[in-house]
Amino acid sequence: MNRSPARVRIAPSPTGDPHVGTAYVALFNWTHARQTGGQFLLRIDDTDRTRYQAESEDKIYRALHWLGIDWDEGPDKGGPHQPYRQSERCDLYQQRATQMIESGSAYRCFCSQDRLSQLREQQKQDKARLGYDGTCRDLDTEESSARAAAGEAHVVRLRTPEDGETRFTDQIRGEIVVDNCEIDDQVLVKTDGYPTYHLANVVDDIEFGITHVLRAEEWLISTPKHVLIYAALEQPLPLFIHVPLLRNVDKSKISKRKNPVSLEWFREQGFLREALLNFLALMGWSPPDEEEVFDLQRFEEAFRIEDISTGAPVFDMVKLDWLNGMHIRRLDPGALADRLEQEGFLPEGASRHQVEQILPLVTERMVRLCEFTDRTRWFFTEPEPPAREDLIPKKGTAESSNEALQAAARGLAELKPFDKSSIESCLNSILESNQWKKPLLFMPLRFALTSRKDSPELIDVIEVLGQDTVLSRLDRAISVLAGTQ
Ligand code: GLU
């Protein structure tokens, strides 16, 4: 495909929490703009006033900033074609609608909601094709203008040709041909004067000089209407690319009933932006070297817009968790500590030094950043004392655990330096001199020090806790065993 500078856009509607699908489409658009030295635009499609939510726009900005996807033109940034919020561009849509009425490619329709509902019911009963029946198509132009001038409620509709076909090429799906009789006389301007998505979208894509319309597959069905609007406005078509829809496990279109979809949720759970972008990239594209774990830079080098797949990618949380773990382990402790701090996952009172010290012990098993506090609580604050029964392994007794903890306390109290290798040889010599199997010593020790059974490597735990804390927790556990705590 042509690699001249592309002008591409995303056009989210501010109707709720920022959707993961927005990030998915943004990723491909943004990357293509970067690769070709073009521009990536952010347009806010806010003409559906019934679903509009004021705070949603800011949430979209925040989510994209978090992902590291920046835009060259947009409502908050301005640009040569501002404004970039559709509700501020209504005059323009009106002008284009008037132009289309004058050229005969659109017409005013005065049919009431009641009539349209009855029509729909009838069509359903007759199992006929649903759509407008053309009652107002051939109204006399003067009459139509006079009724509109008198303030009679109306919409503006696209005059779809009665016969023939509409054709366009989707860059990954090939040529698409639709019989015009299948295309409804789509409403372009609603009774409230706001344009529908179809008109506003085409007018803006023309005005903004968009070269590639890369969007989700769900819009493919609307594209023939858009092609007719381009023709009516005598404008060349952009290139169209419809990326496959993200799907729930049951293959239905991704929805919040069955899957998390809010970008805020992914952030709150502690998914790394790298992992989410990596995951989204894999949903629509396969890396040529089959290396599934990659960063944005690698993606930018390898991605080609024409290689976007047409499959039906399933949003598999297990895979995303796996990728998140992989990306967590790609960050060094300093960088990971930064993320934990930025995302608010640091336990209260934890010092930076402590966090960097503990991170290497827990990242091996960490999947989401939100687990950090839970996995490391034993380190930052003294945990609840262990339960007595947890201190006694299956093949042990209260006496054997008491002996084990006493021996460990004696041995560890003498260590200097207190480091991994000295701790290891101390524990080994306790095992050897008593002829104990590992669990007899390690299990009570683990519970004594962390009050949990799934802690990191015991020797690491002992080292990072430090001699004083280790000894005091051993004392405490010995009292629990004795029943004096
Ligand atoms: N406002 C539409 C959306 O919410 C934009 C679709 C398009 O990219 O044309 O997804």
Residue 454 has pLDDT above 90, yes or no: no
Provide mean pLDDT across the span 301-327: 95
Looking up residue 452, the CATH number of its domain turns out to be 1.10.10.350
Looking up residue 322, the CATH number of its domain turns out to be 1.10.1160.10
In a domain, 329, yes or no: yes
Residue 2 has pLDDT above 90, yes or no: no
Instruction: Tell me which residue range forms the domain holding 315.
Output: 263-370
Q: How far apart are CA 236 and CA 214, in angstroms?
A: 16
Q: Residue 85 Cα, ligand 1 centroid: separation in angstroms? A: 13
Catalytic option among 190, 256, 258, 319? 256
pLDDT value at residue 214: 98
Q: Residue 123 Cα, ligand 1 centroid: separation in angstroms? A: 29
User: Do residues 315 and 260 lie in contact, with contact meaning Cβ atoms separated by under 8 Å?
Assistant: no
| Average pLDDT of the chain, as a whole number | 96
Provide mean pLDDT across the span 12-35: 97
- Our measurement of the distance from residue 90's CA atom to the centroid of its chain's CA atoms, rounded to an integer in Å, reads 31
Clarify whether residues 401 and 437 are in a common domain. Answer: yes
Q: Residue 304 Cα, ligand 1 centroid: separation in angstroms? A: 22
Taking the CA of residue 15 as reference, the ligand 1 atom at the shortest distance is 4
Q: How far apart are CA 139 and CA 441, in angstroms?
A: 93
In a domain, 6, yes or no: no
Taking the CA of residue 13 as reference, the ligand 1 atom at the shortest distance is 4
Provide mean pLDDT across the span 365-385: 94
Residue of 9, 45, 204, 261 to mutate, ligand 1, most atoms within 8 A of C-beta: 45
pLDDT in tens, 91-118: 999 999 999 999 999 999 999 999 999 9
Residue nearest to atom 6 of ligand 1 (CA): 11
Clarify whether residues 144 and 289 are in a common domain. Answer: no
Give the type of residue at 206: I
Residue of 24, 215, 221 to mutate, ligand 1, most atoms within 8 A of C-beta: 215
Clarify whether residues 98 and 225 are in a common domain. Answer: yes
In a domain, 22, yes or no: no
- Give the confidence band of 347 by pLDDT, cuts at 50, 70, 90: confident
Clarify whether residues 287 and 417 are in a common domain. Answer: no
Q: Residue 166 Cα, ligand 1 centroid: separation in angstroms? A: 21
Clarify whether residues 277 and 319 are in a common domain. Answer: yes
Residue 485 has pLDDT above 80, yes or no: no
In a domain, 53, yes or no: no
Clarify whether residues 194 and 319 are in a common domain. Answer: no
pLDDT value at residue 88: 97
Candidates 57, 56, 1; CA nearest to 28 is 1
Residue 219 has pLDDT above 90, yes or no: yes
In a domain, 221, yes or no: yes
Structure tokens at 195: 């344009």
Clarify whether residues 287 and 327 are in a common domain. Answer: yes
Compute the 3-state secondary structure of the chain and give helix, strand, coil in percent, each to the nearest 5: 50, 10, 40
Provide CB contacts within 8 A for 252, sequence distance 6+: 258
Point out the domain boundary residue: 370, 403, 426: 370
Taking the CA of residue 25 as reference, the ligand 1 atom at the shortest distance is 8
Q: What is the dihedral of CA 348, 354, 360, 365, to 10 degrees?
A: -20
In a domain, 80, yes or no: no
Q: Residue 244 Cα, ligand 1 centroid: separation in angstroms? A: 14
Residue 45 has pLDDT above 70, yes or no: yes
- Give the confidence band of 258 by pLDDT, cuts at 50, 70, 90: confident
User: Do residues 254 and 22 lie in contact, with contact meaning Cβ atoms separated by under 8 Å?
Assistant: no
If you write DSSP's letter for every residue of 332-347 in order, what string do you get?
A: -HHHHHHHHHHTT-SP
Looking up residue 97, the CATH number of its domain turns out to be 3.40.50.620
Clarify whether residues 213 and 274 are in a common domain. Answer: no
Residue of 84, 211, 219 to mutate, ligand 1, most atoms within 8 A of C-beta: 219
b (16+ CB within 10 A) / e for 450-476: bbeeebbebbbbbbbbebeebbebbeb
Kind of pairing between the strands at 212-216 and 239-243? parallel
Taking the CA of residue 222 as reference, the ligand 1 atom at the shortest distance is 9
pLDDT in tens, 401-430: 999 999 999 999 999 999 999 999 999 999
Q: Residue 201 Cα, ligand 1 centroid: separation in angstroms? A: 8
In a domain, 472, yes or no: yes
Q: How many domains does the chain have?
A: 3
Point out the domain boundary residue: 243, 276, 295: 243
Clarify whether residues 410 and 437 are in a common domain. Answer: yes
In a domain, 160, yes or no: yes
* pTM metric for this prediction: 0.92
Structure tokens at 385: 């004392």
pLDDT in tens, 134-188: 999 999 999 999 999 999 999 999 999 999 999 999 999 999 999 999 999 999 9
Residue 193 has pLDDT above 90, yes or no: yes
3-class DSSP state of 58: helix
Q: Is 256 noted as a catalytic residue in this protein?
A: yes
Residue 349 has pLDDT above 90, yes or no: no
Clarify whether residues 239 and 307 are in a common domain. Answer: no
- Give the confidence band of 17 by pLDDT, cuts at 50, 70, 90: very high
Clarify whether residues 180 and 304 are in a common domain. Answer: no
Clarify whether residues 400 and 442 are in a common domain. Answer: yes
Q: Tell me which residues have their CB closer than 6 angstroms to ligand 1.
A: 11-13, 45, 197, 201, 215, 219
Point out the domain boundary residue: 370, 403, 435: 370
Provide CB contacts within 8 A for 481, sequence distance 6+: 388, 391, 392, 398, 401, 402, 405
Strand partners, 109: 155
pLDDT value at residue 456: 93
pLDDT value at residue 1: 67
Residue 221 has pLDDT above 70, yes or no: yes
